[in-house]
Amino acid sequence: MNLNAGRNFEGLDDSAIELRARRALAGLFNVADPNRVIFTSGITASLNMILNGLLKEGDHVLTSGVEHNAVARPLEMLRRKGVIEVDHLQCQADGTLDPESVHKAFLPNTRLVVLTHASNVLGTILPIRECFRIARERGALTVLDAAQTAGVFPFSMDDQNIDVLAFTGHKGLRGLAGTGGFVLSPSAAEQMAPWLSGGTGSASDNLEQPDFLPDKFEPGTHNILGILSLALSVEEILRLGVDVIRAREMTLTAKFLELCEGLPNLRVHGPKDAKRSAAIVSVDSPGGDVGVMAGRLYYEHGVITRSGLHCSPLAHKTAGTFPHGTLRFSLGYDTTEKELFDVAEALKKVL
């Protein structure tokens, strides 16, 4: 079977499909030029390209104490190679970050401030607009890991002082796994060097990577079915309205937090306030094993959770849940209140 044979969608060829997806994503993140949307295989690929493309020897980077390894490991790799210095801004145990800490930790060679928008362990929303304003005022570029918030939070790259926004396709954007990308401010697009190079189907007589967008950062054959999935899912999100999605997720999170509060022997981590959180609730039970709890929830009650460190040892060190980790519930726009009651009942039995 040739899966590529069905690739022509509604008469659109590859570049028309890409443009459709770029336009939808540019609408979602509020940027004027769709060519500033770059496709990759996900946030991990995006962050490797962004960090390696922007950082030079002697640069200092500020990041937070709740970052996913997609941020922390590429930075650590550059640090170990002796290219950069990194400081992790201390967050409170619930993940809260004081923007003033950016001021305090800023050095003359701080070139980049890299933050996650919401912790994938604690749900905590970081004060990115304020942190990034301080960073920009002092001459640094700003990079956002929007894995937990793209598609479920309203965005404006200009208003939020974001130079580069990295997104993944398979979470709030509801696209296929293995999709994602990043969006660039005009200044970041100029300053960032390509980290991957190769054929683009453009300026092929030149051995140098083209310097125009999106080709500068998109060598090789694209995941066109993945990109099509993003075009369709993001158009659907825009029709529905991100504000509507966020409001619904907040209501569900508040309800689930309330249900968890009533359960004995359960500790809830994170801000415990839906307004300050993405739709994530992380728990543990004193003396209990979160892996066993996750297994019992799944095999005895059909509830899918994720347990352990969630690729974010820094967040667990911040929360005081390292190395045992937590049990994490992820709610979504389609979650029903009945499901929340059923999950709380199942959790009560497991506890």
Ligand X SMILES: Cc1ncc(COP(=O)(O)O)c(C=O)c1O
Instruction: Give the chain's largest Cα–Cα span.
Output: 69
Burial 72-103 (b: 16+ CB within 10 A, else e): bebbeebeeeebbbbebbebeebbbbebebbe
Closest distance between ligand X and the C-beta of residue 300, in Å?
Answer: 26
Residue 331 contacts ligand X per CB under 6 A: no
Closest CB to ligand X among residues 144, 266: 144
Residue 17 contacts ligand X per CB under 6 A: no
With CB atoms as reference, the residue minimizing the distance to ligand X is: 42
| Span from 37-45, 53-61, 103-111, 215-223 in contact with ligand X (CB under 6 A) | 37-45
* Secondary structure letter of residue 193 according to DSSP: P
Residues 229, 210: Cα–Cα separation, whole Å: 27
Closest distance between ligand X and the C-beta of residue 343, in Å?
Answer: 21
Closest distance between ligand X and the C-beta of residue 208, in Å?
Answer: 28
DSSP string, 93-117: TT----THHHHHH--TTEEEEEEES
| Span from 48-56, 144-152, 283-291, 331-339 in contact with ligand X (CB under 6 A) | 144-152
How many CA atoms are closer than 13 Å to the CA of 119, on its beta-carbon side?
35
Q: How many CB atoms lie within 10 A of CB 69?
A: 17
* Secondary structure letter of residue 229 according to DSSP: H
Residue 147 contacts ligand X per CB under 6 A: yes
Residue 116 contacts ligand X per CB under 6 A: yes
**CB-count burial class (<10 Å; 0-12, 13-18, 19+) for 225:** middle
Instruction: Count the residues of the shown chain that bind ligand X, applying the rule CB under 6 A.
Output: 13
For residue 41, give the nearest of 165, 175, 179, 164 by alpha carbon: 179
Residue 145 contacts ligand X per CB under 6 A: yes
Residue 148 contacts ligand X per CB under 6 A: yes
| Token pair for 293 | 């709890």
Give me the 165-184 binding string for ligand X, x by CB under 6 A, dash otherwise.
---x-----------x----
Closest CB to ligand X among residues 68, 248: 68
Residue 278 contacts ligand X per CB under 6 A: no
Q: Looking at 22, 60, 68, 88, which residue binds ligand X (CB under 6 A)?
A: 68
Closest distance between ligand X and the C-beta of residue 155, in Å?
Answer: 15
Residue 44 contacts ligand X per CB under 6 A: yes
Residue 70 contacts ligand X per CB under 6 A: yes
The partner residues of 275 in beta bridges, in order of sequence, read none
The binding site for ligand X (CB under 6 A) comprises 42-44, 68, 70, 116, 120, 145, 147-148, 168, 180, 311
